[in-house]
Amino acid sequence: MKDSKCFVTLKSVHDVMKAQKQLMAAGISINVVATPREISHNCGVVVQFACECIDQIETIICHEDYGNFGLFRKSAQGVEEIITAEY
Amino acid sequence: MIYLDNAATSFPKPAEMIEAMRAFMSESCGNPGRAGHLMSIGAAMKVFEARETVAEFFNVDDSRQVIFTQNVTMALNTVIRGFLRPGDKVVTTSMEHNSVMRPLRYLESREYIDLSVVNADNSGKVVPSDIAGKVEDNTRLVVINHGSNINGVIQDIASIVKAIKERGKGARVMIDAAQTAGAAAIDFREIDIDFLAFTGHKALMGPQGIGGLVIRKGIDIEPLCFGGTGSDSEFERQPEFLPDRLESGTQNNPGIIGLAAGIRFIEMKGLATIIEKERELTARLVSGLDSINGCRVYRGEPDNRLGVVAFNIDSIPCSSIGQRLNEDHEIFIRTGLHCAPVAHKTLGTFPDGSARVSVSYFNSEDEIDKFIDAMATVRRQ
């Protein structure tokens, strides 16, 4: 799992930018990247982060008013959907 | 040259605003949401920050409630055309600009809505209870001009909204802040309105071609325009969430950046400081015009007006006043009917119109004095 990357998908570019600002303010190292096709989410960009931060990220995203979001892990074995939340 | 037509569009613009647009267009003008490369993501962050700036300026809970439009007219039309349903009643005032009256009269002519126009007094002020008294069970929307583009009178929006809400009919309230955004304090949360329509290129010191709409959370509006948003891309239907639902196609991103920079300039100077300076200039202007023989000045009360003043002089057509000022003195004002015929009727200046002088933070007392001297010359000719 060392080579895996994790992603959070949000519904809009606005929300991805908001998350970027919020997560970086929390000291989490993230990147905004084009949505990997295997994840196939509707928004063109996602937040990419190291998988060890997943609990911290889930807490922050759940705490805020983001509405729908998804957490994904991508590795050589494929894409694993960890959480998809709809509000 | 002396520019006194700031109610049409403010000039000059802050150097900081021009520089922000230049930097964006020359260094990072990608298309937000349309790609995952650094230029696109960088532009998306700039637009996000601009939306946050607007939300903070108007004290809006969530910046997703801020929609960018091409101007205030588009913002007003977005609500009038997208929120109203057949058979709805709409209440408005006799101080409205055509950006409100024309779409409302159009819907009325198609028998889509029932329109009531509440008369202001001959100074342009509307009595809150007069508006509230027109609100009935099927009144879905009340549209109110916040500050007149003719004589600068500012309505007591807080009292008007309170009176409307106390009627308990569920009517939503939109204010047209074309002239007041950036020239008067507007607290979206405190005054309890449902829609705020504004433009960026007047008192907010931004460029032309950008405006916006603030929408109370939970209110749905049918889009005027449908198309690509950079979201929900696998679906052929329009997204249901804001801001994307009401922002189809590539936006005026340089304009959005300029608008935010204009607001930051206002915040740097202090809105209260700007308002105070414009009030002092306006008092000087009114006093000077009052001293000219035969000059009739249309203005609001000193503590409740914008830096917008209309006037006429005896039998001199207002167009001649504007022409003399332009050609002989290089002073730029506006004359005629200011796209607000119903408001001119209210003030008694229809159909001839009026001359209009409008100041900004960048005007000086010396410019006002030169204008008054020029007017005295025009009067004598």
* Contact state of A42 with B235 under an 8 Å Cβ cutoff: yes
How far is A27 from B373, CA to CA, in rounded Å?
62
Q: Is the pLDDT of residue A65 over 90?
A: no
What pLDDT is attached to residue A1? 56
Interfacial B residues in 232-251 facing A (CB < 8 Å): 232-235, 239, 241, 243-244
CB-count exposure of residue B169 (10 Å: 0-12, 13-18, 19+): middle
Q: What is the DSSP string of B9-43?
A: S--SPPHHHHHHHHHHHHH----TTS-SSHHHHHH
pLDDT in tens, B1-57: 999 999 999 999 999 999 999 999 999 899 998 888 999 999 999 999 999 999 999
Phi-psi domain of B287 (left: phi exceeds 0; alpha: psi -120 through 50; beta: other): alpha
A25-44 residues touching B, CB cutoff 8 A: 32-35, 40, 42-44
For residue range B290-316, what is the model confidence (pLDDT) as tens digits?
999 999 999 888 888 999 999 999 889
Prediction ipTM score = 0.90
Residue B233: its pLDDT value, please? Answer: 86
CB–CB contact A11 B64 (8 Å): no
User: Which chain A residues contact residue B48 at CB under 8 A?
Assistant: 13-14, 17-18, 21
Closest to B145 (Cα-Cα) out of B303, B314, B7, B4: B7
Q: Residues of chain B with pLDDT > 70: what percent?
A: 100
pLDDT digits (tens, 9 = 90+) for B50-81: 999 999 999 999 999 999 999 999 999 999 99
Contacts of B232 in chain A (CB under 8 A): 11, 42-43
Does A24 reach chain B within 8 Å, measured CB to CB? no
Which site among A20, A31, A45, A68 would you substitute to test the B interface, given the most B Cβ atoms closer than 10 Å to its Cβ?
Answer: A45
pLDDT tens column, B308-367: 999 999 889 999 999 999 999 999 999 999 999 999 999 999 999 999 999 999 999 999
Query: Do A14 and B239 count as a contact with CB atoms less than 8 A apart?
Result: no
Q: How far apart are the C-alpha atoms of B181 and B186, rounded to whole Å?
A: 7
pLDDT of B197: 98
Q: What is the pLDDT of residues B181-214, one digit of tens each?
A: 999 999 999 999 999 999 999 999 999 999 999 9
CA distance B232 to chain A (A): 4
Residue-level pLDDT at B381: 82
Residue B261 confidence (pLDDT): 98
Asked whether the beta carbons of residue B231 and residue A12 sit closer than 8 angstroms, the reply is: yes
- φ, ψ for residue B354, nearest 5 deg: -155, 165
pTM of the shown model: 0.96
Q: Which helix (H) or strand (E) holds B323?
A: helix B318-329
**For chain B, how are helix, strand and coil distributed in percent, rounded to 5?**
40, 20, 40
Residue of B nearest to A20 (CA): B45
From the list B139, B140, B137, B155, the residue with the least C-alpha distance to B94 is B155
Across the range A2-22, mean pLDDT stands at 92
Q: Could you tell me the two tokens for B160?
A: 């008007």
